[in-house]
Amino acid sequence: MCAARILYGKPVQEAILEEVRQGVEELAAAGLRAPKLAALLVGDDPASAIYVRSKTRMCSETGLDSEAFQLPSSTSTEELLKRIDELNHDAGVDGILVQLPLPEGLDTDVVLDAVDPAKDVDGIHPENVGLIVQGRPRFVTCTPGGIIELLERNEIEIHGKNAVIIGRSEIVGKPMAMLLMHRHATVTICHSRTQDLPGVARAADILIVAIGRDAMVTPEFVKPGACVIDVGINRVADRQRVEEIFGADADWQKFEDRGYLVVGDVHPAVAEVAGAFTPVPGGVGPLTIGMLLANTLRSARRRLGVGS
Ligand code: GUN
């Protein structure tokens, strides 16, 4: 029997989007234009194409303008920089999103540094990361910001708790640590060289997992009753691995239809130990998009002179 609370992302995303819709209506009532997001997708990674499509679809459902630019994988860093420069100078664009990962051969740091920090609605430009570190964020990085919304809107206490983050990426692990620390958690960041990872993770009241390895976090990593947030989205196409992870509970119909199953970084058996956990899919994913739209509204308000 699974007694843990399941923390679904959809209701929190819907609450965030409702706030964004209201903000867009307020702009319209003041005679101002809708916020606009420009998304750059380089190459033909199918998962990235799906993410960009769902971001632009969600924009139109929420009253934001959006435009997706699909560039071939042969695009050079210089060509991409030129496109970013045009968007930086386009007064009608409030937010610029460069979908990651970029194809090999492109310099991700150079590309991300080129985005105007005032339009960096992903919250990953060094200037915006610096503001997050100082506790006065302009744009909160989308996935960590969404996780904070999920915790707070589900009334999961952060203040004074032990938070352990597995994964030290620029886009999740590092900003997540700052956001939790500013909310008075005691934060530990773990990574591939951490000794006794299960032991360190077991100290967590809040365990955040963002390592990109299917079902790696098993019940031995989890203190009974802990809140476990799973950021992983892994496609498992190997039948034997699906069997190892899910045993008799595997959804073979879905596996046959798609050729893979989507699995988080957290093993399904953790549901038997945790006090609360996010499902994959349907947990953290929707929140990232919600925060992206909230940041785009925030950018538009700042740029139109009606917000700070
Ligand atoms: N790829 C995976 N997550 C993200 C994200 O939050 N932003 C961007 N731009 N790319 C991603």
Report the C-alpha gap between 62 and 84 in whole angstroms. Answer: 25
3-state secondary structure of 277: strand
pLDDT of 2: 56
pLDDT of residue 1 exceeding 90, the answer is no
How confident is the prediction for the chain on average, in pLDDT? 97
Distance 249 CA to ligand 1 centre (A): 31
Does the beta carbon of 100 sit less than 6 angstroms from any atom of ligand 1? yes
The Cα angle at residue 249 between residues 247 and 253, in degrees rounded to 5 = 110
Does the beta carbon of 41 sit less than 6 angstroms from any atom of ligand 1? no
pLDDT band at 239 (very low <50, low <70, confident <90, very high): very high
> Which CATH number applies to 32-116?
3.40.50.10860
Q: Cβ-count burial of 37 within 10 angstroms (0-12 exposed, 13-18 middle, 19+ buried)? A: buried
**Domain spans, the chain:** 32-116, 142-286
Q: Where are the beta strands (DSSP E) in the chain?
A: 5-6, 36-42, 65-71, 95-98, 162-166, 186-190, 206-209, 227-230, 234-236, 261-263, 276-277
Check 65, 94, 120, 122 and give the catalytic one.
122
Same fold across 32-116 and 142-286: yes
CATH of 142-286, one of 3.40.50.720, 3.10.20.30, 3.30.300.30, 2.60.120.560: 3.40.50.720
Does the beta carbon of 75 sit less than 6 angstroms from any atom of ligand 1? no
Check 55, 161, 174, 223 and give the catalytic one.
55
**Helix%, strand%, coil% for the chain, nearest 5:** 45, 15, 40
Of 45, 48, 50, 51, the one to substitute when testing ligand 1's pocket (max ligand atoms within 8 A of C-beta) is 51
Distance 39 CA to ligand 1 centre (A): 11
pLDDT of residue 123 exceeding 80, the answer is yes
pLDDT of residue 233 exceeding 70, the answer is yes
DSSP string, 244-262: HHHGGG--HHHHHHHSSEE
Does the beta carbon of 97 sit less than 6 angstroms from any atom of ligand 1? yes
Report the C-alpha gap between 118 and 53 in whole angstroms. Answer: 24
Instruction: Work out which ligand 1 atom sits closest to the CA atom of 100.
Output: 10
Percent of the chain with pLDDT over 90: 98
Instruction: Work out which ligand 1 atom sits closest to the CA atom of 122.
Output: 7
Q: Given its phi and psi angles, is residue 131 left (phi above 0), alpha (psi -120 to 50 degrees) or beta?
A: alpha
Distance 51 CA to ligand 1 centre (A): 8
Judge whether 122 counts as a catalytic residue: yes
pTM: 0.96
Does the beta carbon of 142 sit less than 6 angstroms from any atom of ligand 1? yes
Of 142, 289, 295, the one to substitute when testing ligand 1's pocket (max ligand atoms within 8 A of C-beta) is 142
Percent of the chain with pLDDT over 70: 99
Report the C-alpha gap between 292 and 98 in whole angstroms. Answer: 12
Of 40, 99, 235, the one to substitute when testing ligand 1's pocket (max ligand atoms within 8 A of C-beta) is 99
Reported as a single tens digit per residue, the pLDDT across 29-60 is: 999 999 999 999 999 999 999 999 999 999 99
Instruction: Work out which ligand 1 atom sits closest to the CA atom of 141.
Output: 6
Does the beta carbon of 42 sit less than 6 angstroms from any atom of ligand 1? no
Mean pLDDT of 82-90: 98
Reported as a single tens digit per residue, the pLDDT across 287-299 is: 999 999 999 999 9
pLDDT of 131: 98
pLDDT of 3: 80
Reported as a single tens digit per residue, the pLDDT across 158-214 is: 999 999 999 999 999 999 999 999 999 999 999 999 999 999 999 999 999 999 999
